[in-house]
Amino acid sequence: MKIVVTVKLVPDTNAAKRIDPATKRLVRTGLETVLNPFDEYAIEAALQLKEKLGGDTTVTVFTMAPETGKETIRKALAMGADDAVMLSDAGLEGSDVWATSYAMAQALKKTGFDLLIAGGLADDGNTGGVPGALAEYLGVPALTNVRKIEEAGDGKIRAQRETDSGYQVVSGPLPSLITVTMAVGEPRYASLKGIMGAKKKTIVTLMLADLGLDRAVGTDGAKTEVLEISAPKPREKARVVEAADGASGAQAIFDFLREKKLI
């Protein structure tokens, strides 16, 4: 079985971030690039499945990122993925979710897969829109919020989906796309052997010219525009109510909630 994991490269999740007011984009200069934390769980799920299935099962990591991300993607190879595919092209700059998903889908058609595993959310963009759009462009079903893959093979997958009240057992055909939750298990650390071995693993780079796209991507292909960005308002200072007794204290709380239109 060929498993492909989509992995976004994101700025260090703990670093202070700054938005360029002119471009309304995140300033990435000087920020370390890391694997999107949710995608580490997707890699873990893929490696667990490979271990379970054995045979000729392979795990490929796929990213759309600038070529400078090559060393970061090696961290996914050090965890145990077999190889990587990078879609890197200056023409992709300015892609919104629509253009990103379209370009990624065309590249994934070239790569091919039986099971495509994505994280549910990117730490920087935070839309959660890419996996659904990928499934649509690729014409495959999407099984979201998977906490456990019960079985996969012989043209079908059976998995447990996390819900607010418990979980559902769902099945679908292969090829399919799944998104995973953190319940799949803590991502493994790369061993020294894994880190050394990753240096020799193949990273294939695809460019836009390799894809034969029939519509624009990048800034020209974006259908959405960021109009305004603002930081959350600082919290107001807490109001301390000095009440002579319980009744006047309760009245003060009531008046406060009514003033805020909460009752």
Ligand X SMILES: Cc1cc2nc3c(=O)[nH]c(=O)nc-3n(C[C@H](O)[C@H](O)[C@H](O)COP(=O)(O)OP(=O)(O)OC[C@H]3O[C@@H](n4cnc5c(N)ncnc54)[C@H](O)[C@@H]3O)c2cc1C
187 touches 41 (CB < 8 A): yes
Stretch that binds ligand X, among 60-68, 158-166, 185-193, 227-235 (CB under 6 A): 60-68
Burial of 197 (0-12, 13-18, 19+ CB in 10 A): middle
In the complex, least distance from residue 216 CB atom to ligand X, rounded to whole angstroms: 13
From the list 11-19, 118-126, 135-143, 159-167, the region that binds ligand X by CB under 6 A is 118-126
184 part of the interface to ligand X, by CB under 6 A:
no
Toward ligand X, which CB reaches closer, 124 or 252? 124
Q: Are 180 and 119 in contact (CB under 8 A)?
A: yes
Query: CA 255, CA 157: separation in Å to the nearest integer?
Result: 57
| Of 48-56, 124-132, 183-191, 251-259: span binding ligand X (CB under 6 A) | 124-132
Shortest distance (Å) from residue 118 CB to ligand X: 4
CB 3 within 8 A of CB 62: no
Residue of the chain from 1, 4, 36, 106 that contacts ligand X (CB under 6 A): 36
Pairing between β-strand 156-163 and β-strand 33-35 as defined by DSSP bridges: unpaired
Among the residue ranges 59-67, 196-204, 206-214, 243-251, the one whose residues contact ligand X (CB under 6 A): 59-67
Contact 221, 97 (CB under 8 A): no
- In the region spanning residues 212 to 231, those forming contacts with ligand X, defined by CB under 6 A, are 222, 224-226
CA distances from 169 to 106, 145, 217 (A): 30, 11, 37
Residue matched to tokens 């298990």: 185
Burial of 137 (0-12, 13-18, 19+ CB in 10 A): middle
| Helix axes 130-138 and 97-111, enclosed angle (nearest 10) | 50
Asked if 119 touches ligand X (CB under 6 A), the answer is: yes
Residue 37 as a binder of ligand X (CB under 6 A): the answer is: no
Residue 47 touching ligand X (CB under 6 A): no
Decide: helix, strand or coil at residue 115: strand
Which of 2, 70, 83, 128 is the binder for ligand X (CB under 6 A)? 128
For ligand X, the closer CB: 13 or 127:
127
Helix, strand or coil for residue 226?
coil
CB of 87 within 8 A of CB of 103?
Answer: yes
Stretch that binds ligand X, among 14-22, 77-85, 125-133, 246-254 (CB under 6 A): 125-133
Residue 254 CB, nearest approach to ligand X (Å): 42
> Which listed residue (3, 8, 41, 198) binds ligand X by CB under 6 A?
8
Q: Does 176 bind ligand X (CB under 6 A)?
A: no
Are the C-beta atoms of 186 and 174 separated by less than 8 Å?
A: no
The binding site for ligand X (CB under 6 A) comprises 6-8, 25, 36, 38-39, 42, 63-65, 93-97, 100, 118-119, 121-122, 124-131, 222, 224-226
